Amino acid sequence: MRLVASDLACVRGGRQVFSGVGFAVDAGEALMVTGPNGAGKSSLLRLIAGLVGVAGGGVALDGGDGELTIGEQAHYLGHQDALKSSLSVAENLAFWANVLGDGTARVGTALAAVDLGSLARLPAIYLSAGQRRRLSIARLIAIARPIWLLDEPTSGLDASGQTMLADLMRAHLAGGGLVLAATHGPIGLDGAKELRLGESR
């Protein structure tokens, strides 16, 4: 599996966010998207997920399921955590497991993997920012999808949470997955490629 982007351009609100962006990520590889605020890191991830229209160039996935779009084969972990306050932790995760996966998700194991196993029945409104982020991350492991699009995945996480996320990403890469992460700092992946946005202008 190989994700290739060539000469990508993105326009948001009439402003050219970036243009001429290209990269290739193979199975088992990670790509760190870096750059100053407003360089288009989040826009690039949203564009790959199909949540933002492509203004030029294109993204292609070789070796994926031809019937599905790239977004349908990817996990998108954005700034918003997509959690409903009045649903419990387990209900939130089970809902996304049913919507994004095929209903065979391992909700219990995924919650245990992010250290939320004991809070499964707590309404999500009582979670802290870091716990909400952990619950979002649990989605990545509850449902298997080959591409992970992570937007500042470590924000709100404590040290152990960051180690946990790094371990999960390494396991995902070892299983032949792809990780694209927009980040300002190191997120614990050695040997990751880097794509720097916002310098050509």
Partner 1 sequence: MTALAALFVRDMRLAVRVGGGALIGVLFFLIVVTLTPFALGPDLALLARVGPAILWLGALLASLLALDRLIAMDHEDGSLDLILTARVPLELAVAAKALAHWLTTGLPLVVAAPLLGFLLNLEPKATGAVALTLLAGTPALTFIGLIGAALTVALRRGGLLLAVLVLPLTVPVLIFGVAASNAAIVGPVPFATPFAILCALTLMSLVVGPFAAAAALRHGLE
Q: What residues line the site for partner 1 (CB under 8 A)?
A: 12-13, 46, 49-53, 68, 71-72, 74-76, 78-87, 91, 94-96, 98-100, 103
Closer CB to partner 1, 27 or 100, in the complex: 100
- Smallest distance, partner 1 to C-beta of residue 40, A: 13
Closer CB to partner 1, 50 or 57, in the complex: 50
HEC secondary structure over the chain: CEEEEEEEEEEECCEEEEEEEEEEEECCCEEEEECCCCCCHHHHHHHHHCCCCCCEEEEEEECCCCCCCCHHHEEEECCCCCCCCCCEHHHHHHHHHHHHCCCCCCHHHHHHHCCCHHHCCCEHHHCCHHHHHHHHHHHHHHCCCCEEEEECCCCCCCHHHHHHHHHHHHHHHHCCCEEEEECCCCCCCCCCEEEECCCCC
45: tokens are 């991830």
Closer CB to partner 1, 18 or 76, in the complex: 76
Closer CB to partner 1, 132 or 192, in the complex: 132
Closer CB to partner 1, 1 or 94, in the complex: 94
- Smallest distance, partner 1 to C-beta of residue 56, A: 15
- Smallest distance, partner 1 to C-beta of residue 101, A: 9
- Smallest distance, partner 1 to C-beta of residue 28, A: 22
For tokens 């407003």, the residue is 38
- Smallest distance, partner 1 to C-beta of residue 163, A: 25
Closer CB to partner 1, 110 or 192, in the complex: 110
- Smallest distance, partner 1 to C-beta of residue 77, A: 9
For tokens 């605020």, the residue is 37
